[in-house]
Amino acid sequence: MRCPILTFLFITLPLHLGAQVPTGRWSLELWMDSAGAIGPRPAARYVRGQIGFDTLHADTGTASNGRTWTRQYWPGRFAVDLKQFFGAQIGHDVSTTVVAPFDSTSSTEVEADYPIGDSIAVNFVPRVSHGGITASGRIRGDTILGNWYMRAYCCGAVGHFRMVRFSHAPVFFRRPPPPPLPPPLALDRRVEVRVRARDSGTGKFFAAQHSLIRFNPSSSTCCYSTGTQPEGWGVYFWLPPGRYQIELSRFDCGGRFASLRQPAVHEFTAAAGETVEVTLEVNRDTVPLSPTYDNRDGLRCRDLKRH
């Protein structure tokens, strides 16, 4: 015999979820309540525009343990001039990680996570780890109210927002296809690179992670590790010939995240068949640091260890 309570739940649950979905076009208002610690001062404390979402999308894949995963979300686009807040469409932070594919349209991309009850989270420019904003609020019919923050290592801008839906028509969304993998280069046509980091105060090598910046075409890749091989070296990696920059912007300070105010960098141009070995030097005790959630006052590492 079928339970009437369960029958009622199965019938009403899709209707309840359907009433909460963000598909459609919305007006969007953002107020900045507090500016961030990094970047130019805001030119305005209020901006408005529009935002739109497609129907529900689902991505699937296989995790390292062999299990299949599924992620459901509503992708879309937004048209708001965030340069009034941050000086650029993507806010400034000590560093960020970009997930490919990322093209000229990616700075207008937005994603809404699957709602839990009437709560919803909206990620602006979701393919960058830092510099975009995340807005969380409650969706009630055709209105969403809540708060937002700029994703940052520390002390990003915060504010509140309002969204009002004026159309339920979906905004068609298609992400650009991933760029094709570069063909493997023969040993005599590529550049071999390895990097290590040395503390100039102690003379000892230490494990860290660094980024690689390519100038033409412009790209940034994180993160490569040092200290996994003898004498502090990281493993070799290969690159096409060209102009590059190695950048060390953070390190571990007694178990706390330390972000360099000015990254340690090394620029080089290498031809096919060359081997490049880079040693980055920084005095971890005395180098100026930026505020982070582990170091809100921007103390130098030697002082941070005492707290």
The predicted-structure confidence for 121-171, as pLDDT tens digits, reads as follows 999 998 888 889 999 999 998 999 999 999 887 778 999 999 999 999 999
Phi, psi (rounded to 5 degrees) for 141: 65, -110
Residue 37: its pLDDT value, please? 77
Contacts of 179 (CB under 8 A, 6+ apart): 100, 101
Residue at 189: amino acid letter:
R
Tokens of 191: 């550049």
Q: Measuring CA to CA, how many Å separate 97 from each of 93, 131, 186, 212, 226? A: 11, 10, 29, 11, 18
Residue 40 reports pLDDT greater than 90: no
Residue 151 is classified by DSSP as -
Residue 10: its pLDDT value, please? 35
User: Which range (12-26, 28-42, 72-86, 126-140) has the least confidence?
Assistant: 12-26
Separation CA 171–CA 152 (nearest Å): 29
Residue 18: its pLDDT value, please? 44
Residue 116: its pLDDT value, please? 72
Name 46's bridge partners: 31
Average pLDDT score, the chain: 84
Residue 66 reports pLDDT greater than 80: no
Residue 175 reports pLDDT greater than 80: no
Residue 17: its pLDDT value, please? 43
Domain boundaries, the chain: 18-167, 187-304
User: Which range (6-20, 29-43, 181-195) has the least confidence?
Assistant: 6-20
Residue 273: its pLDDT value, please? 92
Residue 283 reports pLDDT greater than 80: yes
Q: Measuring CA to CA, how many Å separate 102 from each of 124, 142, 214, 240, 293? A: 14, 31, 15, 20, 28
Residue 3 reports pLDDT greater than 60: no
Domains 18-167 and 187-304 fall in the same CATH topology: no
Q: Which residue has the higher pLDDT, 109 or 290?
A: 109
Residue at 40: amino acid letter:
P
Return the CATH superfamily for domain 187-304.
Immunoglobulins (2.60.40.10)
Tokens of 242: 């060209």
Residue 297: its pLDDT value, please? 82
Q: Which residue has the higher pLDDT, 94 or 133?
A: 133
Residue 77: its pLDDT value, please? 95
The class level of CATH for 18-167 reads mainly beta
For 82-111, give one letter per residue: b (16+ CB within 10 A) or e: bbebbeebbbbbbbbebeeebeeebbebbb
Band (257; pLDDT cuts 50, 70, 90): confident
Separation CA 182–CA 179 (nearest Å): 9
**What pTM was estimated for this model as a whole?**
0.62
Q: Give the number of other Cβ atoms within 10 Å of residue 271's Cβ.
A: 9
